[in-house]
């Protein structure tokens, strides 16, 4: 029998981990908030990073091997041929996103998002001195062409240079955008002169459907994609990402060589090992995540049937509609205080996140079960 990768209990993980997930809250709080896994590490990554430390290979990165490994992985996994001459290492996905925002928009200008969407988008847009414009997902949780057309058109009418931040797959809903949906987005962006910046960090964690890289759809070549191994292989502390500039992107988007300096050398070594030798580990993790996704559905049906839940087609994040529970705009606060379960606050993902929470499934089935029991008990 295969040894589970997502295993262990809360006391064990708290004793082993010193990062934010397990140390942010008191010891009696179960942390199912920030998007990292309670997972045994990928052996090839451990071997590669350990060997680098032993030989003292801790200097500045060169970056070529990361680009080549990323290109080979993309070609083999999604049939996506990256132009390596237009691909650059960057410190992490959101650093790359921020740099593109600065280049293709003006201070105070609009950056369109489709909420509910990755909560860090809002902070990074504010940090760059731009403003968020929401073109929310439709009632079924899909990209809404009408909302996008309206947001893009209003910016174009004002003569503002505009970017759109695409979350592909969508965090927190777990939606996998189809090729047709992305092509429609690309056509709207082209019509209104909008640059699409695609955060594709969750691309390797897909349970249902097929991931489509944004740059591969018609018109997508005018955008920029950010990819990384950090989410799928649980390497948030070993940061490195790739910025892929589409062949028809604005010329001022090109990354300078100095942008590659922020990508950790050990992070690049880890990513190369993950992309080249870590597939068996990832395949097992995805099977375990799918099982946890189904487990959560059964537990909610039994213990919290008022909570709305659509099993995520991608990511290891569950988006829960708690509005029927009467816990106000931020149910996460109530679950944390009364049930001692830390979840991500729904309003942080945009106005449409009110009354919702995001739950991290990337942990052991025992912890998922205990979390739902605590959440249900907190309503008694």
Cis peptide before 116 (omega within 30 of 0): yes
Among 45, 36, 63, which Cα is nearest to 275's? 45
Task: Check: CB of residue 239 under 8 Å from CB of residue 61.
Answer: no
pLDDT at site 305: 98
pLDDT at site 115: 98
Alpha helices for 254-364 (secondary structure H)? 265-277, 279-303, 331-334
CB atoms within 10 A of CB 307: 22
Looking at 3.20.20.70, 3.40.190.290, 3.40.50.720, 3.90.1150.10, the CATH number of the domain 10-41+279-377 comes to 3.90.1150.10
- Does the global pTM surpass 0.85? yes
Alpha-carbon torsion angle 275, 277, 281, 284, nearest 10: 80
- Structure confidence by residue, pLDDT tens digits, 61-98: 988 999 999 999 999 999 999 999 999 999 999 999 99
Which neighbouring-strand residues pair with 227? 242
Q: Mean of the per-residue pLDDT values for the chain?
A: 97
pLDDT at site 123: 98
Among 379, 359, 358, which Cα is nearest to 369's? 359
User: Residue 11: pLDDT band by 50, 70, 90 thresholds?
Assistant: very high
CB atoms within 10 A of CB 103: 18
- Structure confidence by residue, pLDDT tens digits, 174-221: 999 999 999 999 999 999 999 999 999 999 999 999 999 999 999 999
**3-state per-residue secondary structure call for 10-67:** HHHHHHHCCCHHHHCCCCCCEECCCCCCCCCCCHHHHHHHHHHHHCCCCCCCCCHHHH
Q: CATH 3.90.1150.10 in the chain, residues?
A: 10-41+279-377
pLDDT at site 1: 60
Contacts of 368 (CB under 8 A, 6+ apart): 32, 292, 295, 296, 299, 361
Q: CATH 3.40.640.10 in the chain, residues?
A: 47-277
Task: Give me 157's structure tokens.
Answer: 């009418």
Task: Check: CB of residue 133 under 8 Å from CB of residue 156.
Answer: no
User: Residue 334: pLDDT band by 50, 70, 90 thresholds?
Assistant: very high
* Across 6-26, average pLDDT: 96
Q: Which CATH architecture has domain 47-277?
A: 3-Layer(aba) Sandwich (3.40)
Task: Check: CB of residue 205 under 8 Å from CB of residue 286.
Answer: yes
Q: Is the pLDDT score of 27 beyond 80?
A: yes
- Structure confidence by residue, pLDDT tens digits, 259-313: 777 899 999 999 999 999 999 999 999 999 999 999 999 999 999 999 999 999 9
% of residues, the chain, pLDDT over 70: 100
CA separation for the pair 95, 224 (Å, rounded):
13
Segment 51-56 long-range contacts (CB within 8 Å, at least 24 positions apart): 52/265, 52/266, 52/269, 53/266
pLDDT at site 257: 79
- Structure confidence by residue, pLDDT tens digits, 155-181: 999 999 999 999 999 999 999 999 999
């Amino acid at each position: 029998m295969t040894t589970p990768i997502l295993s262990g209990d809360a006391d064990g993980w708290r004793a082993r981990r010193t990062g934010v997930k397990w140390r942010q809250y008191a010891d009696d709080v179960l942390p199912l908030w920030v998007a990292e896994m309670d997972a045994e590490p990928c052996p090839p990554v451990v071997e590669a990073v350990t060997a680098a430390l032993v030989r003292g290979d801790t200097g500045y990165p060169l970056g070529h091997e990361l680009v080549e490994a990323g290109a080979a992985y993309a070609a083999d996994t999604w049939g996506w041929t990256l132009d390596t001459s237009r691909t650059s290492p960057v410190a992490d996905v959101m650093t790359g996103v921020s740099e593109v925002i600065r280049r293709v928009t003006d201070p105070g200008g609009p950056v369109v998002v489709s909420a509910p969407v990755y909560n860090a988008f809002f902070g990074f847009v504010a940090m760059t001195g731009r403003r968020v414009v929401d073109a929310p997902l439709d009632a079924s949780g899909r990209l809404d062409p009408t909302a996008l057309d309206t947001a893009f058109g209003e910016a174009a009418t004002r003569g503002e240079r505009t970017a759109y931040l695409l979350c592909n797959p969508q965090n927190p809903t777990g939606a996998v955008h189809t090729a047709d949906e992305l092509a429609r987005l690309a056509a709207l962006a082209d019509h209104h002169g909008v640059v699409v910046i695609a955060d594709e960090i969750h691309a390797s964690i897909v349970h249902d459907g097929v991931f489509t890289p944004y740059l591969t759809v018609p018109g997508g070549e005018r955008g920029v994609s950010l990819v990384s191994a950090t989410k799928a292989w649980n390497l948030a502390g070993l940061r490195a990402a790739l910025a892929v500039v589409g062949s028809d992107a604005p010329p001022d988007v090109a990354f300078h060589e100095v942008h590659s300096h922020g990508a950790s050398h050990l992070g690049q070594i880890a990513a190369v090992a993950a992309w080249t030798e870590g597939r068996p580990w990832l395949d097992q993790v995805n099977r375990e995540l799918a099982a946890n996704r189904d487990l959560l559905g059964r537990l909610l049906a039994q213990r919290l049937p008022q909570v709305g839940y659509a099993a995520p087609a991608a990511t290891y994040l569950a988006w829960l509609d708690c509005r029927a529970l009467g816990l106000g705009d931020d149910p996460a606060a109530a679950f944390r205080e009364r049930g001692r379960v830390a979840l991500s606050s729904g309003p942080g993902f945009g106005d449409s996140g009110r009354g919702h929470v995001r739950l991290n499934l990337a942990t052991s089935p025992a912890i998922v079960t205990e979390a739902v029991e605590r959440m249900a008990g907190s309503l008694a």
